[in-house]
Amino acid sequence: MNLLWSLLDSVWSLLGAFVWLIEPLAKVVFVLLILLSFAPVLTWAERRQSAMMQDRVGPYKAGVLLPGPVVNMVPAAAFGALLVAITLGLIALGSFVAMVLPPILGYAGMADDVIGPFRVGTIFFLCAILAPLHYGIARILPSLFDGNYLTAYGLIHPLADVIKMLWKEDFMPPRADKLLFSLAPIIAVIPAFATFAVIPFGPTVYWEHLFRPLPDGGDLGIASILQVASINVGILYIFAVAGTGIVGAAIAGYSSDNKYSLLGGLRAASQMVSYEVTLGLSVVGCFMVYDSLLLQDMVAWQMDNVWGIFVQPLAFVMFFTASIAEYKRIPFDAPEGESELAAGYFLEYSSTKWVMFMTGEFIEVVVSAAIISTLFLGGYDVPFLTAHGWEAFGYRFDLGATDSSTLRQFHVISDVMNSHMAVVLIQIGAFIMKMIALCWLSLQVRWTLPRFRYDQIMSLCWKVLLPASLANILITGVVILFFQTL
């Protein structure tokens, strides 16, 4: 194991010399993968839930027909994976007994004599990870098929939708403004991607210490911030770029030469402008508490103190509500009300241009979830996980430093779990899971509440949320001044 760590250290040290080129490209690709993978999954989840709510055929019926021999191999492959899982589980159990039993019986060196050059703890750790993995494959693999069709839980349905929409005719109304009509979807979709550039999706990575626990001090070598762009007014950049999406909706409605599209564009512009005021004022309390506009500083404050949702609960509710209105989802989908406007400001759009509008709308859901996670849920923070490993109430999880010879056999577990790479991956995964939870919450709101009337939407903004956001700023300032005078 030590030889493997040394080899990996050498490889990463060599790659570290080219990190100036690899780093920005890798971060951009990672962000695009997150955004472009969430959009089809959200589409699938919406179709599945709408099928359940409206009692109709859902996306599970969409599948790819496979040859019979290929489908017949699935049970055998699943059975083989199950046998491997049982074998690895037995090996893990035997390794555990070989570590624990000899020290108890007084034969401390027996385990090494039996296993030979391999560490018992290493074998136990690897088998304990691989056994559930193979068991999961054995359970999941058969459920991906429906007869001779590969359905993959209905995830093929969004792919079929995209292919179908891209093959449709790219229709343009004869009296439409051709330049503005073609420009509107581009203006609508680009801000959705650009706003994610300043959101930190993970901690700082120190490449030279990737496969070992991070030292407490000293020169840590080459570092990379897991954020596409770090600017000192990050949250203001988000509001500035996101505000340009209003222009796309307004231009789409105006340039289509359709009165229903025009009404949808006017509704969208007025609604988005109104709720952007509440959206901005609701986070002023966060600025006052965090004392910074840098998003990574806000995450650092929450890691050192407490998550923002506990110090700004009212701001969390207002920001979440205003976000739903900003990306125009039910119950705030009056600009796209089918019963009133036939489809809203993108009524005349089809094919790729319509896909761009829909992609921008789903990406806005994901970006909104990322912003809320950063401002109120600690960003990539995981309780009891620091940059140096797992710690709780002053105690560090390090089995190699214990006095018990039995526990020292498990040192490989603590070495891996406290390694810098494991810490980074866990924190990135936590950030993604928080985004998934918020996207799921948005879907539940979308299928729980009915559509508000347009006058109700505007009244909620100007008569409820705006006064509440101003009151939140006042209360936050009074509380801060009170604690400063103590």
- Listed in sequence order, the residues at least 6 apart from 280 whose beta carbon sits closer than 8 Å to its beta carbon are 239
pLDDT at 309: 92
pLDDT at 374: 92
Residues 220 and 235: their CA atoms lie apart, in Å, by 29
Beta carbons of 435 and 370 less than 8 angstroms apart: yes
pLDDT at 79: 81
pLDDT at 472: 92
Residues 373 and 308: their CA atoms lie apart, in Å, by 9
Q: What is the pLDDT along the chain (486 residues), one digit of tens a residue?
A: 556 556 666 665 666 566 666 777 878 888 888 888 887 777 777 776 666 665 555 555 667 777 877 777 888 888 888 888 888 888 888 777 776 666 655 555 554 554 444 566 677 778 888 888 888 888 888 877 777 777 777 777 767 777 777 788 788 888 888 888 888 888 888 888 888 888 988 888 887 777 778 877 766 777 778 888 888 777 888 888 888 888 888 888 888 888 888 888 888 888 888 888 888 899 998 888 988 888 888 998 998 889 999 999 999 999 999 999 888 887 888 877 766 667 778 888 888 888 888 888 888 888 999 999 999 998 898 888 888 877 877 777 776 666 666 566 666 677 777 788 888 899 999 999 999 999 889 888 887 888 888 888 889 999 999 999 999 999 999 998 888 876
Residues 23 and 30: their CA atoms lie apart, in Å, by 11
Exposure of 349 by Cβ count < 10 A (0-12 exposed, 13-18 middle, 19+ buried)? buried
Q: pLDDT tens, 338-384? A: 666 677 788 888 888 888 888 888 888 889 999 999 999 988 988 88
pLDDT at 403: 61
Tell how far CA 89 is from the center of its chain.
Answer: 32
Q: Which two tokens stand for residue 241?
A: 């770029």
- Please confirm whether the linkage preceding 331 is cis (ω < 30° from 0): yes
Q: Which two tokens stand for residue 359?
A: 């992609």
Tell how far CA 369 is from the center of its chain.
Answer: 8
Residues 427 and 174: their CA atoms lie apart, in Å, by 52
Backbone angles phi and psi of 35, in degrees to 5: -65, -45
Which residue, 346, 301, 9, 32, is CA-closest to 188? 346
Q: pLDDT tens, 259-295? A: 888 888 888 888 888 888 888 899 998 888 988 888 8
Q: Model pTM?
A: 0.81
Residues 80 and 83: their CA atoms lie apart, in Å, by 5
Residues 329 and 323: their CA atoms lie apart, in Å, by 9
